[in-house]
Structure 1
Amino acid sequence: MKKFLSIAFLTVVVAYFLISCQNKSVAIVPPTKVDTPKLKKLKDTISIVAVGDMMLGSAYPSKVNLPSDDAVNSFVAVEEFLKGDIVFGNLEGCFLDKGKSTKCSDPHSTSCFAFRMPERYAGIYKKAGFNVLSIANNHIGDFGLTGRKRTTSILDSLQIEYAGLQSKPFAIFEKDSVKYAFCAFAPNDNTVSIKNIDSAKMLVAELKKQVDIVIVSFHGGGEGAKFEHITRKTEVFYNENRGNVYAFAHGVIDAGADVVLGHGPHVTRAMEVYKNKFIAYSLGNFCTYGMFGLKGPNGFAPLLQLKVNAKGDFLYVDVISIKQDKVNRLTIDENFTAFKKIQTLTNLDIPENQLKFEGNGRISLK
């Protein structure tokens, strides 16, 4: 009975509404569809693998500086660790199959360093998992414009992102719904200068407007065991201004950078978290064959497995310590030398740091 009365009442109401509309000429307008903006869902955790200098063997001045396995086993000892959203390293040299370097007046000199990796070696980096490379350094120009152009052409063909030349100051790309910008700096000719911090900040600020995560790389600071420490001043090496890496790293983070990855000194340096953003001041020699000096601290380096959140804020970093020598080449260091060095240097050079160094190689916030 109640159901019958409810239906009857609804029928009367509808009939009254229709009659009213006819009498008053009221138009029935369907509700307007309102488009609501779709919120972009970013990954909760972004994984960035980062290493330092890489040069797998140079065919100049002769093929004696190429490894006997033609470099195919260069990364075999660490291949399980080279997995992440971003796998980054510094490409210390160019890809080029022929040509002489104007850098060396004597092509047979043992004290002039010009690196020309065979073009086929580029595929070794790709196969190992590297998808972002810095080419802002002193060796990308060892064979002039020809070497730079051939290198960038090969990296383009392999779809490896890169930056650091004045002709290619940055790269913007997307991976798994996250939009990245990568830019790189150095004190060398034809590279984007690390010495002009204001210009670097302007570039980073513009990039941050367009992307989710900005990664900055720099090649700067003095070289060798005497330059393990961060001075917070302009560093000069062989009468060359190598930049103030501390001021540079802080400056680009102030401008919007999320991660700053340094290399150039050929030794491991301190690490820092500034405004919740991660800085590695030098990642040392990671995989360098031939004429690179590997004695003492030059032979040890970290492989970083860095985790940041969707905002680019530091979560933690796992440090895989590696070592190199002329016989065994790249291997895992069971003594954790690079990790211990990072801890010591960080506490000495950045005593205000809030980092916790754990026995398993992890660095997190206190």
Structure 2
Amino acid sequence: MNLFKATGICLAMSAMAAFAEPETLTVIGVGDIMMGLNFPEEKPVLPKQDGELVFSEVKDILRDADLTTGNLEGVLMNKGGLPKPCCRSTKKSGNCYCFRSPENYTRHLLDAGFDYVSVSNNHSGDFGSEGRICTQRALDEAKLAYAGFEKSCEYKILELNGVRYGFASFSVSSGTLTVFDTEKAKKTIALLRDSSDIVIATMHIGAEGSKYTHITRESETFLGDNRGNPYQFARLAIDAGADIVFGHGPHVPRAIDLYKGKFIAYSLGNFATSTSVNIQGVTGYAPIVKITIDKKTGDFKEGQIYSFIQKGNNGDRKPNRDDKGACIKLMKELTEQDIPKSPIQIADDGKITLK
């Protein structure tokens, strides 16, 4: 073959390879986000510089993915709404928390790189139906995708760079899609499977606090309430068609897993909770989990855990880089203990690979 012709063919092939569509996608999941409290009005606790610094340590990672997700804990509402009964009295219970954050804090979520937030959790109804409506309006105006309220936004299909992502978010609380209505959960996920390229389910489920880092594979109870069975529901979601399951709710990181080639994070803990929420010990761990999946099948290829810990006082705390890798160490130990036969493994540097 003529040398010039051969060289031309090689150059053309190199150019085609350079512009070929990638065969994988990167997806990031984090846990609970509550950026500051404007309730009660007489004693608000808002972050410094109006929240501009909340994601300052993490945004470089959050922006570096095809899709980034998290759980929006509470409502977006500037004022008003009817607080849940236990928070209306001046002698409110120590177990009563009402989370209401300024509506314009959506700008911090967008700036940090979030594409989707779950609104299905036990604090999304803290201010009744008015709080839910206001939250939806704020997210709609910001053009930030969300789902999880019963009837009004049960699922979401979001198209980014030619990929259709289907989202369904579940919790254990009324007013949301619940993990207890398994038939509806399966139908919702199946609907997304038929109309999306990649299906992501989130679940706000499980008992709360540092005593509950382990997976029991049974229904969990907290403060007398049934908080569901995370192990069982994650598998139900994947059987119905989910490619990824991100869990949150226990306020602590838990193990990760693989089922039928699909990735599960049972709990991603607290991520950016600027006040009120306990961040002592493991409840302050704020992992970022980034996974690479096959673009066509949704199967897990590899992943990375980034270790962050929330530090600071109320109104002044945020996820900070943790060079000691505390989140990685904990999630590695929990995965090895709770799911010894899991087909994935976590290295000391946070790299997640197939065994």
3-state secondary structure, aligned to 2:183: helix
Structure 1 segment 197-236 matched on structure 2, within 5 A: 197-236=182-221
Instruction: Give, as a single letter, the amino acid of the residue that structure 2 aligns with 1:317.
Output: G
Q: Offset at 1:329?
A: 3.0
Partner of 2:12: none
Structure 1: give runs of 5+ residues left out of the alignment: 1-40
TM-score (norm 2): 0.89
Partner of 1:85: 66
Structure 1 segment 155-304 matched on structure 2, within 5 A: 155-166=139-150, 167-304=152-289
| Whole-Å separation in 2 of the counterparts to 1:170 and 1:67 | 31
3-state secondary structure, aligned to 2:69: strand
Cα offsets for 1:284-327 (capped at 9, x unmatched): 00000110101111011210111101111001111111101234
| Whole-Å separation in 1 of the counterparts to 2:102 and 2:91 | 18
Q: Offset at 1:350?
A: 0.8
Partner of 2:5: none
Q: Offset at 1:107?
A: 4.8
Instruction: Give, as a single letter, the amino acid of the residue that structure 2 aligns with 1:320.
Output: Y
Q: Offset at 1:359?
A: 2.8
Structure 2: give runs of 5+ residues left out of the alignment: 1-19
How much identity, in percent, do the aligned residues show? 40
Would the aligned equivalents of 1:53 and 1:89 in 2 still touch at CA under 8 Å? yes
Partner of 1:26: none
3-state secondary structure, aligned to 1:283: coil
Would the aligned equivalents of 2:208 and 2:249 in 1 still touch at CA under 8 Å? yes
Q: Offset at 1:132?
A: 0.3
Would the aligned equivalents of 1:42 and 1:177 in 2 still touch at CA under 8 Å? no
Partner of 2:55: 75
Structure 1 segment 130-145 matched on structure 2, within 5 A: 130-145=114-129
Would the aligned equivalents of 1:230 and 1:349 in 2 still touch at CA under 8 Å? yes
| Whole-Å separation in 1 of the counterparts to 2:122 and 2:131 | 13
Tell me the number of residue pairs that the alignment of Structure 1 and Structure 2 aligns. 326
Q: What's the RMSD between the two structures over aligned residues?
A: 1.5
| Whole-Å separation in 2 of the counterparts to 1:43 and 1:251 | 30
The answer on 1:59 being equivalent to 2:38 is yes
3-state secondary structure, aligned to 1:209: helix
Q: Offset at 1:228?
A: 0.7
Q: Offset at 1:43?
A: 4.2
Q: Offset at 1:215?
A: 0.3
Q: 1:210 to 1:142 in 2, by over 3 A?
A: same
Partner of 2:330: 341
3-state secondary structure, aligned to 1:70: helix
Cα offsets for 1:243-300 (capped at 9, x unmatched): 1111100111111100000000000000001111000000000000110101111011
| Whole-Å separation in 2 of the counterparts to 1:243 and 1:235 | 6
| Whole-Å separation in 1 of the counterparts to 2:326 and 2:139 | 33
TM-score (norm 1): 0.86
In our comparison, the structure showing a higher alpha carbon Rg is 1
| Whole-Å separation in 1 of the counterparts to 2:88 and 2:165 | 42
Would the aligned equivalents of 1:205 and 1:256 in 2 still touch at CA under 8 Å? yes
| Whole-Å separation in 2 of the counterparts to 1:330 and 1:343 | 20
Would the aligned equivalents of 2:328 and 2:348 in 1 still touch at CA under 8 Å? no
Cα offsets for 1:167-217 (capped at 9, x unmatched): 211001211111110000001010001112232122211210111110000
| Whole-Å separation in 2 of the counterparts to 1:149 and 1:333 | 37
Q: Offset at 1:232?
A: 0.6
